Structure 1
Amino acid sequence: MQNWTTEIQELKNYYKSLSGKIAALEKELERLIKVEDEIGVLVSSRRCLEVIVTDICEKETIGFSETIALKGKIDKLRKEKKVPSHIISSMLNLNTISTYGAHPKEFDSRQVRTVLINLITIIEWYLSYKGEESLSSKKKSVIDHPGELITTDPEQKYLKGEATKKPSRLKIWKIATYFSAIIIIVLGILYLINKTERIKDIPGLEKSIAVLPFENWSSDKEYAHIGDAMTDELILQLQYIEDFDRVLSRTSTLQYKDHKKPIPIIAEELGVSYIIEGSIQRKHENVSITVQVIRAINEDHIWAEEYTGKWKDIFTIQDKIAKQVAEELKAVLSPKEVEQINKIPTENIEAYNLYLRGRFFWHRRTEKDLNKSIDYFNQALALDSTYALAYAGLADTYFIMGWYRWYPKKEAYSKAKKYALKALSINKSISGAHATLGAVYTYHEWNWKDAEEELKLAVTLNPNDAPAHMYYSELLNILGKNTEARKQIDMALKLNPHFFIYHGLSAAYYLNNAEYKLAIEESLKAYEVQNRYYYMIDILICYIKLAMNEKAIDHIKGIISINANNDHEMLDKIYQKSGIEGVIYWFIDWNLLNETTDSYTIATLYASIGDSEKAIIYLKKYMETDGNLISWINNDHHFNLLKTDPRFQAMLKEMKLEE
């Protein structure tokens, strides 16, 4: 049974009251009150909203491109302050839920009533805006007692069915004043109750947040980076608030830039309870930022605000936003957190501009872009030599450059350590600098004690720092602390559930625990996002360990089909004659011939079939080329057969990993 009959009846009354006064809205309302299915109601309600919003924009001469979405128009009305904030909230709610008309399997039928209630609220205000008399202004003021009708209408002559005298003007004025006061008080109380209801915690609802990439309305190409930059800055501010269970990293939400998906679907995919959206516009030295917080479970826009000011005051604006988000989500800020939020990273606003550009290119992670980021970070430091975050940016960049050999490895790691230490000498609370330093100690210096201290400190300072959890998990895995490594990579996955590297690491840790089916699942997730070859090798080894030989052979056929299709029958013959070992020997030769992978992977394949001699030879080759993952052999279960080999023990001793 429809649970929105009452709302449709009220909209019918609005339709009758218009009677040619606002033709466009009257036309859409006529369609709306005739439809009976849920999807039709959503679509027609949205059309009514489009008519209203477009009319207001035209009347207020607010320009916009023909292709701008309805939400963009609403945001412009909010930015121009042409519509009260509570009506903007209703518009945003209606717009968000009504989009489900195009996704009939992705909404709750109870939300249809929410759409209609929002539409009634908007129409009521819109009629007043247009100078038309609303239905509510025509209604008599009624107190619901049986048989009683009390009214301030001087023409009303009956009370309990008895004739009464017409009251004097003075009496009417007193009665009106009295009731006005009561109404104001009641409305005030209802507002406070409503606000409390909107922001109170829903029992069991996790305070997990995803900040979607901010829309950039700046027309100047000079500010093309500013939307992503503000997203980063807000995430960083919120990540330091302990009362929030999780604040997802930027890489997890980047895929939703210019998104078309409904908010609840995004929240479900990311596993969060709250979504934050925003926009920024910078024009010369002026800046305007809009932010809204949405509770995904019931499509409630619990808070929206616009902040305007001078760019030189951007740190103050950011502080206000972070504190207001905390307040709206009822997070209690400690004095330490307030101090962290209030902390100004640099007194030089131009240095800050350069730093934001550096981070913008850093996120792109290509050799060319990382070189650009180094240049911008150095320019920022030329203006402010005490800018800790710029030093931390250099440390991050050089570490990545060294890892991918885009910069001489030893020199890159040395620079990464130097700049991380410099950043921490200025500001000890930068979790990213501790994480980078811990990664250098892990992969360059094999300084296990200091690595653990730095990485533990990094995740303590910022429990929402996904890369810090990743680096810490890798260290723990190397040291054979499998349970703790699992906890850290799971935390990284909660903060960034779609990042392929985290799924790849998770697969490797499952392999080390002989949990092969789970390892296959995680490897497939990683490969689906980024088709890196070693994920396919991990899957193959899992099949071998599970004695699923036919699956293993089919898997190899799938791999070699990329290069050749005519070896499939030969593989079947090899398997019939020499078993799975013969197939793997052939596959190793195929990899060496086609140069598909590194010596570590070749050693792994040899170890999977028990050829310890060949495995140790290729491990030594990998170590001689200064392979990044050589320290992993300490806890890589593939190489358990090598534990007593003096050559293997010598390698561990060189890395300070001997028992």
Structure 2
Amino acid sequence: MDIAGFYQELRRRKVIRVTFVYVVVAWLIVQIAETTFEPLQLPDWSLPFVIIILALGLPIAVVLAWAFDLTPDGLVLDSQLAKKNSFKTNSTLSDAPSIGVLPFEDMSEEKNQGYFCDGIADEILNLLTKIESLQVASRTSSFQYKNKFADIKEIGRQLNVKSILEGSVRKQGNQVLITAQLINVNDGYHLWSERYYRDLADIFLIQEEIANCIVTALEVTLSSQEQRVIKMRSTKNIDAYEYYLRGWHYFHRATQKDLLHAIEMFKKAIDKDVEFSRAWAGTADTYAFLYLYFDNQPDYREKASSFSKQALKICSEQAESHVSRGMAHLLCHEFKEAETELNRAIELAPRSFEAFYFYGRSCFHQGKLAEAAAMFEKASSINPDDYQSVLLLPQIYRSLGRVDDALNAGKKGVEVARNFLQLNPDDSRALCLGAIQLVYQGDIEEGKHWIERAIAINACDSIILYNATCLYVRIGELDIALDCLENVVLTGMVNREWLEHDSDLDPLRNDARFISLLEKLEETK
């Protein structure tokens, strides 16, 4: 490890912080000793003895700080923590070029441009994901390093990539200074670096130049379609683009309140440029997520449909428009139309996680379980840190009779959920999906603890109640399971097709209460 890397490792393991705190506390102890030992008439050797003990304790504290880390699970070896936190994609790197895009650092004096810096990195990452021959670490993985210091080699190992793009942004008035550097993970040397000091209106050109420079440095050959995608721009209005970036900033926070703020930002972007197709698509996506995860009021579904339709009308050559339109069709149970749109999105962006994930949901709704499994497997391979796609697989595998695959997927899903919960301890969906697989693995008490935590965080969430239903079915508490399911049906946040194809509910099939619930759903269809 080089000097810079060693220094970053000291910071990561909190050795510097521990040393500083120890020295300060030791100094205070000596001051107190000097003041109090003489009035207490302690022997003359008492003060030197305290100083010697404190001096001997310093290297011990440093060693402990290096070797151990304090976590919510207690004191653990740092090597075990690194292993636990590492993202398990492939154990070895493939021959294909690969890259992780880290969040760009905010270099403005006020430190209030985080949304803009994240947005620039996000846009570059999204451009790169449209290149089929380039493996790109997911946003979830890469953005965990925001405001954190870590050795590039260690980041590369955890992201399972060969190169890292990092950079910084300083925006002042109508000027922007962007620095970007592409680093070889293996040796830490720069493959490419550049500084751009331009008018803010040139931001789209800068992103295109950075993407092209990365492609050249990594010796990636672009198809004609990929070249068109990189050059494609949705707006020339910088104000619209800033509102658009703010919209995604709120969207990624994923609370109901933040999603509503995201819609406000996307709509302001549209007001600035009515032809900004990606702002229309972003608005549609946000309405779809509100409908799926928070409130299934028909107005959200209708707006997801109308905004996605307009996005596609403005630009039919962007994958984002087709994903949005596919999601809108899915909400309306127009499965054939949804799959047509999602297929087109995959043609335009072969590594679109959202396209494969929602294609999987469409297949599951129709009972096409083998196809659903294939889609969720692909989605999980594109974004191995997404707990939802991998945790939906076990129930499908069980329905297909693939018992071993179900067990393996459950173990992997719980591991992904644990990693995610370390960064997002209050994510109720990760808790409830992981809880079911813990029960299937025989960890009944921990599974019940997870589902209870999820319900405590959000007792009215229909998805949590539905997963609680599945958990209680598994442990044989069928009356409690039906109580939970009845509450889910009352919210209107579940459909008959999903209940009919979920193998976790098989023990309820002949129960009169369950049959009654299916009939009620059919009546309100």
Report 1:545-556 matches (<5 A): 552=444, 554-555=445-446
Per-residue CA deviation, residues 426-459 of structure 1 (Å, 9 max, x unaligned), is 11123233223323332x3112211222222222
- Determine the C-alpha separation between the residues in 2 that align with 1:469 and 1:269: 24
Instruction: Give unpaired runs (5+ residues) of structure 2.
Output: 8-16, 18-65, 68-76, 79-92, 422-426
Q: 1:507·1:522 contact (CA, 8 Å) conserved in 2?
A: no
Distance 1:359 1:649, change over 3 A: closer
Q: CA deviation at 1:382?
A: 1.5
1:462 partnered with 2:374: no
| Residue 321 (1) aligns with residue 210 (2) | yes
2:96 corresponds to which residue?
206
Counterpart in the other structure of 1:625:
491
Aligned to 1:637: 503
> 1:655, 1:457 → 2: CA distance?
32
Q: Percent identity?
A: 29
CA drift at 1:508: 4.1
1:431 partner amino acid:
A
Aligned mate of 1:367, from 256, 260, 263: 256
Shift in Å, 1:415: 0.6
- How has the CA–CA distance of structure 1 residues 298 and 482 changed in structure 2, closer, same or farther, with 3 Å as cutoff? farther
Distance 2:5 2:157 in 1: 25
Match in the other structure for 1:8: none
Whether the 8 Å contact between 1:218 and 1:224 is mirrored in structure 2 is: no
Matching residue's letter, 1:472: Y
Relative distance call for 1:390 and 1:300 in structure 2 (3 A) is same
Q: Aligned partners of 2:249 and 2:335: how far apart in 1?
A: 32
Q: Distance in 1 between matches of 2:132 and 2:380?
A: 19
Residue 386 (str. 1) matches residue 292 (str. 2): no
CA contact (8 A) 1:249 1:466 kept: no
Residue 239 of structure 2 is matched in structure 1 by 350
Question: What is the CA–CA distance in structure 1 between the aligned matches of 2:217 and 2:165, rounded to whole Å?
Answer: 12
Letter in 2 for 1:636: D
Runs of 4 or more, structure 1, over 6 Å off, are: 44-47, 559-563, 594-597, 609-618, 642-646, 651-656
Tell me whether 1:231 sits opposite 2:121 in the alignment: yes
Equivalent residues of 1:295, 1:301 under 8 A apart: yes
- Match runs of 1:105-184 below 5 Å: none
Q: State yes or no: 1:481 paired with 2:368.
A: yes
Kindly provide the amino acid, as one letter, of the partner of residue 436 in structure 2.
D
**Stretch moving more, 267-276 or 483-492:** 483-492
Over 3 Å counting, the alpha-carbon distance change for 1:449 and 1:647 in structure 2 is farther
Post-superposition offset of 1:374: 1.7
| Match 1:450 to one of 337, 360, 364 | 337
TM-superposition CA deviations, 1:449-506 (whole Å, max 9, x none)? 1122222222222122222222222222333333433333233333332233334334
Residue 313 of structure 1: how far off its partner (Å) = 1.6
Change in 2 beyond 3 A, CA 1:460/1:537: same
Secondary structure of the structure 2 residue equivalent to 1:225: helix
In 2, Cα distance between the equivalents of 1:562 and 1:372?
27
- The residue aligned with 2:432 is 534
What's the CA shift for 1:420? 0.8
Report whether the alignment pairs 1:418 with 2:313.
no
What secondary structure does 1:475 align onto? helix
Give the direction of change, closer, same or farther, for the CA distance of 1:602–1:280 in structure 2 (3 Å limit).
closer
Question: What amino acid sits opposite 1:478 in the alignment?
Answer: H
Tell me if 1:524 matches 2:390: no
Q: 1:403 aligns with which of 292, 308, 312?
A: 292
Superposition CA RMSD, Å: 3.9
Q: 5+ unaligned residues in a row in structure 1: which ranges?
A: 1-38, 48-66, 68-101, 107-202, 564-589
Q: 1:602 to 1:242 in 2, by over 3 A?
A: closer
1:435 aligns with 2:301: no
Which residue is equivalent to 2:150?
Answer: 261
8 A contact 1:634–1:652 mirrored in 2: no
Q: Which has the higher contact order (CA 8 A, sep 6+)?
A: 2
The amino acid of 2:99's aligned partner reads I
Describe the shift of the 1:364–1:204 C-alpha distance in structure 2 as closer, same or farther (beyond 3 A).
closer
Aligned-partner residue type, residue 231 of structure 1: A
Pick aligned residue for 1:338 from 218, 227, 235 = 227
Provide the rounded CA distance (Å) in 2 between the counterparts of 1:484 and 1:626.
27
Distance in 2 separating the partners of 1:223 and 1:44: 27
Partner of 1:282: 171
Alignment match of 2:108 (pick from 218, 234, 246):
218
1:403 to 1:652, Cα distance in 2 relative to 1, 3 A? closer
Deviation at 1:214, TM superposition (A): 0.8
Listed as ranges, the matches of 1:639-654 within 5 Å are 639-640=505-506
Q: Which has the larger Rg?
A: 1
**Letter of the structure 2 residue corresponding to residue 309 of structure 1:** R
* Counterpart-to-counterpart distance in 1, 2:317 and 2:437: 40
Q: Of the candidates 586, 604, 610, which is equivalent to residue 470 of structure 2?
A: 604
